[in-house]
Amino acid sequence: MTDASLPLLADIEDAARTVYQEFQPTPQYRWGLLGERLGTECWVKHENHNPVGAFKIRGGLTYFGQMAQRGALPREVISATRGNHGQSIGWAARRHGVACTIVVPHGNSVEKNAAMRALGVQLVEHGEDFQAAREHALYLAAERGAHMVPSFHADLLRGVATYWWEFLRAVPHMQVAYVPIGLGSGACSAVAAKRALGHRVRLVGVVSRHATTYADSFAAGQVVAAPVSTRIADGMAVRVADPQALALLMPHLDHLVQVGDGEVAAAMRALFTDTHNVAEGAGAAAFAAALQEKDALRGQCVGVPLTGGNVDAALFAQVLADETPAPV
């Protein structure tokens, strides 16, 4: 995938019509207390305010929408996830009457698993991390003759780009935006929306210090696998960067920031205290990165997406009590 294959403005606008059949644009607010913490103007895009509590739902809707337009809806889809992508695919599969199996690693979020099952998903637990779950999903898809839904694909980007399209249109004077990187769909969609709108915002990538495949791959100029030990940012717990995403991101991100679990937990507490919104670990990573760089942000308009709020209650209670589990 190259820059030329990123969704254009017309593609994103068409994707928005598909997304808005299920829910309306999510809000973005300028939060005063968060601004005081940063020492500058701070806007938050609330992707926690949609039907599955995370931005991924947009991609699932457009992925299935494109299959339906082509008359190519399968009888069954299979995919792998740490939770939010699986909810997205489960939601869209249910809407189109397609059977759905999702593979998650052992020890996955109890509440994300429950949410997927509630959407009619057949859940399979396999492996110790996302990469192992993904490989098993590929095996099951081949064995059953089912359609394997990837975690990174142009038809997913079309939908995910709609949230950045909303955000950048709502805050045309935004100067810096922090973009969490899991497997890459959210970050690549930020690039697509920026290009489509001709927005001048600087995009800063955010990775977990305990899942550094993208940081290591950026440094090497090619995909480098890295161990995953984060206990809190499961949405960023990727062991192997996607080569297509890497190629798209390297020319367009201003720089990368690595955030540790302690910083992410502090950002989760700050978001709850200042806005009374619940952020999962990956959902708070953008604000954690902004806090890390706040001395360089004075006088600038900063945008941070709260990409999801799907954190298990027990873990969130530990975070609020400042008892965050250490990385493994």
Reported as a single tens digit per residue, the pLDDT across 204-233 is 999 999 999 999 999 999 999 999 999 999
Residues 269 and 176 in one domain: yes
Residues 172 and 307 in one domain: yes
* Secondary structure (DSSP) of 108-156: --HHHHHHHHHTTPEEEE-SSSHHHHHHHHHHHHHHHTPEEPPSS-HHH
Does 325 fall in a domain?
no
Residues 131 and 272 in one domain: no
What is the number of alpha carbons within 13 Å of residue 2 lying toward its C-beta?
Answer: 1
Q: How confident is the model at residue 217, as a pLDDT?
A: 98
Q: What is the pLDDT of residues 228-281, one digit of tens each?
A: 999 999 999 999 999 999 999 999 999 999 999 999 999 999 999 999 999 999
What is the number of alpha carbons within 13 Å of residue 313 lying toward its C-beta?
Answer: 2
Q: Distance between CA 123 and CA 239 in Å, rounded? A: 22
Q: How confident is the model at residue 206, as a pLDDT?
A: 98
Q: How confident is the model at residue 325, as a pLDDT?
A: 87
Percent of the chain with pLDDT over 70: 100
Q: Distance between CA 254 and CA 250 in Å, rounded? A: 9
Q: What band does 5 get if pLDDT is binned at 50, 70 and 90?
A: confident
**Amino acid, single-letter form, for residue 195:** R
Q: Which residue has the tokens 């975070």?
A: 319
Residues 98 and 205 in one domain: no
Bridge partners for 302 per DSSP: 42, 176
Q: For the whole model, what pTM was predicted?
A: 0.96
Q: Distance between CA 193 and CA 92 in Å, rounded? A: 23
Please state, rounded to an integer, the average pLDDT across all residues of the chain: 97
Q: Which two tokens stand for residue 251?
A: 């020319």
Q: What is the pLDDT of residues 164-199, one digit of tens each?
A: 999 999 999 999 999 999 999 999 999 999 999 999
Number of domains comprising the chain: 2
* Among 316, 181, 172, 318, residue whose Cα is nearest residue 249: 181
Residues 7 and 70 in one domain: no
Q: Which residue has the higher pLDDT, 324 or 143?
A: 143
Percent of the chain with pLDDT over 90: 97
**Alpha carbon distance, N-terminus to C-terminus of the chain:** 34
**Distances in Å between the alpha carbon of 139 and those of 134, 153, 262?**
9, 19, 36
Residues 168 and 294 in one domain: yes
Residues 200 and 226 in one domain: yes
Q: Which two tokens stand for residue 242?
A: 């996607």
Residues 16 and 160 in one domain: yes
Q: What is the pLDDT of residues 86-107, one digit of tens each?
A: 999 999 999 999 999 999 999 9
Residues 48 and 114 in one domain: no
**Full residue range of the structural domain in which residue 250 is found:** 3-54+154-320
Count of Cβ atoms closer than 10 Å to residue 125 Cβ: 13
2: pLDDT strictly greater than 80: no
144: pLDDT strictly greater than 90: yes
How many helices (H) does the chain have, and how many strands (E)?
Answer: 13, 10
10 Å CB burial of residue 235 (0-12, 13-18, 19+) is: buried
Q: Which two tokens stand for residue 328?
A: 């493994």
11: left (phi over 0), alpha (psi -120 to 50) or beta: alpha
Residues 196 and 264 in one domain: yes
Helix axes 84-96, 57-69, angle to 10 degrees: 40
Secondary structure class of 313 (helix, strand, coil): helix
Q: How confident is the model at residue 28, as a pLDDT?
A: 98
